[in-house]
Each structure stands twice: as structure tokens, then as C-alpha cells.
């Protein structure tokens, strides 16, 4: 469309029973443009128009006329094209920037420095005068060795940090991984064995209705996301624990634990799907145990 002035123009599609709230001056919007029904937003000064229809796809719209107070009419033709709406996600949240991190850590660092400083000062005061002079003389003689040692520790820390960075699956973000993949799997297995030992007498059987609900939800989530390699490669094993606590967690090896307290707390299956999807995401992204 080529409309006059600085107005914004867009074509949108949607189901017959979907509506959109169009805001902002000079916005013209076509929603499944019909050749029968036209709805005008009756704000003469804003120049806002909205067209909506449930007509058949592929029907050509010819010689429609848009006009508003003080503006010329415009003739145009368009095709009613179906547009698949893209999946909407919330904005990405990056890690806290260095200034914010420093604001949070600074109070703890200050307390630690006070305690350490007082301890060193008390130790220094307790030393005999001759011992103090010997230590001062030794520090003056070895100042370059001390500086080299401190610098070496700093370099080792930097090297360790950058050699242990890894790209997070799916998101591609860099993260520090202290343990290797093998150690990570061993930790996951150790935690799994610990939970199984603790809850071995409280596991619900597969015939229980609550177990079957969780099984359907997990099955639906894994099937809907099977195009993600990290989801399809794992075998998701369900454990429903008869515990009143409101809790659920998924280990990185695909072991899903759900407490009956959580099943009693959620109001419908959609809330349960949301919670389990969140927990499965932790396993998919290989977050720490």
C-alpha cells in the first residue's frame, strides 16, 4: 500500500473469532480483508481503520477505498494471504552486568575484608619486634618473587576461566563449566541413586492415575519437542513420589521426579505442563545438578 503522509500500514490475518486492539494514530490495518463487511474505528481525527472478515482464503479484494477526514481516497487491490504466526517468547535476560554484580558482591566482600584485616592485624601485633623486622626485611628482599607469584596466580585463573568456557545447547550462550561431561554424568547418577534410595518406599506404581497423568504430560512435551536433539536423545523416566511437598525436578540424565503435593496444588493439566516444561528445560540446557 502507498498511503499518504507518515501513516503506518500493515496486513494481518487471523481466525474469524480473533480480534486485535489497534492503537496509535495513523495506523491502518487489514485483518482478513472482506468484500462485504467493513468496520471503521469512528475516531475521525485519528484516521484509524480496521477491516476483518472470515471469507475464504485466496479471495482477491479489488478496488477497496480508504478515506478519512481531510485525506484523499486511495484505491488498491490486495490478496487475502494466510500468515502463520511465529512462536512468541519472552525477551532474553542476560546475566547481570559487572556494575550490578559488583553492587551485590561488594557488601560481602567488605565484611570479608574487615574480618581478614582484623585477624592479620591481631597476628601482627602479637609478634615480637625482632620477628616483625625479619619479616619486613624478607618481604623487601623477595618483593619481585612475591609479585611474580601473585601475577602467576592471576594468569592461571584467567587461563582456567577461558579454557573451561562452553557453549550452552540451543541458546548458544557461553558459560563456565568447572566439571567435564563425564564428571557431570557421574554427579547426575549419584544424585539419582540418592533420591531413589530416599523415596524407594513412596514411589507410585505405573497403574496409578496420578502417574498416568504425569506420563501423558511428559510424553506430550517430549513428542512436541522431538526436533530438538537434546530432547530426543534422552530417555525420560517418570517417578511420582507420594510426598506432600510441592516440588518437581528433572535430573540432567532424564529422570523426572514429581511429588503428589504438586499434583494437588495445580488447578489443571496446563499448569502441570508449564512446570514440567520448565524443569525439563533445565535438563536440556544441562544445568548443574
- Catalytic annotation, residues: 279
Q: What is the DSSP letter of 261?
A: H
**Interacting residues of 168 by C-beta distance below 8 A, sequence separation 6+:** 174, 175, 285, 286
* Residue 214 to residue 272: CA distance in whole angstroms: 8
* Residue 247 to residue 283: CA distance in whole angstroms: 16
Alpha carbon of 246 to those of 46, 80, 200, 249, 272: distances in Å? 52, 49, 18, 11, 12
**Interacting residues of 36 by C-beta distance below 8 A, sequence separation 6+:** 53, 55
For the beta carbon of residue 242, count every other beta carbon within 10 angstroms: 14
Give me the torsion for CA of 60, 63, 66, 70, rounded to 10°: 170
Amino acid at each position: 500500500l502507498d498511503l499518504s503522509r507518515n501513516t503506518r500500514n500493515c496486513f494481518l490475518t487471523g481466525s474469524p473469532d480473533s480480534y486485535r486492539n489497534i492503537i496509535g494514530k495513523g495506523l491502518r490495518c487489514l485483518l482478513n480483508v472482506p468484500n462485504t463487511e467493513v468496520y471503521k474505528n469512528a475516531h475521525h481525527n485519528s484516521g484509524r481503520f480496521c477491516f476483518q472478515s472470515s471469507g475464504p482464503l485466496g479471495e482477491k479484494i479489488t478496488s477497496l477505498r480508504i478515506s478519512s477526514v481531510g485525506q484523499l481516497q486511495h484505491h488498491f487491490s490486495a490478496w487475502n494471504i494466510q500468515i502463520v504466526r511465529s512462536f512468541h517468547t519472552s525477551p532474553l535476560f542476560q546475566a547481570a552486568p559487572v556494575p550490578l554484580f559488583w553492587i551485590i558482591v561488594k557488601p560481602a566482600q567488605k565484611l570479608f575484608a574487615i574480618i581478614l584485616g582484623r585477624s592479620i592485624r591481631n597476628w601482627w601485633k602479637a609478634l615480637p619486634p625482632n620477628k616483625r623486622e625479619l619479616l619486613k626485611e624478607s618481604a623487601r628482599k623477595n618483593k619481585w618473587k612475591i609479585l611474580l607469584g601473585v601475577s602467576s596466580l592471576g594468569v592461571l585463573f584467567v587461563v582456567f576461566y577461558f579454557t573451561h568456557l562452553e557453549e550452552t545447547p540451543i541458546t548458544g550462550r557461553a558459560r563456565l563449566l568447572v566439571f567435564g561431561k563425564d564428571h557431570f554424568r557421574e554427579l547426575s547418577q549419584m544424585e539419582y541413586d540418592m533420591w531413589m534410595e530416599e523415596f524407594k518406599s513412596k514411589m507410585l506404581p505405573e497403574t496409578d492415575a496420578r502417574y498416568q497423568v504425569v506420563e501423558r504430560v511428559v510424553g506430550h512435551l517430549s513428542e512436541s519437542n522431538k526436533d530438538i536433539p537434546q530432547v530426543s536423545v534422552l530417555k525420560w523416566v517418570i517417578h511420582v513420589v507420594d510426598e506432600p511437598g510441592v516440588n518437581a525436578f528433572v535430573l540432567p540424565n532424564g529422570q523426572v521426579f514429581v511429588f503428589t503435593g504438586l499434583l494437588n496444588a495445580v488447578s489443571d493439566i496446563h499448569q502441570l505442563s508449564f512446570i514440567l516444561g520448565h524443569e525439563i528445560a533445565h535438563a536440556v540446557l544441562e544445568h548443574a545438578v
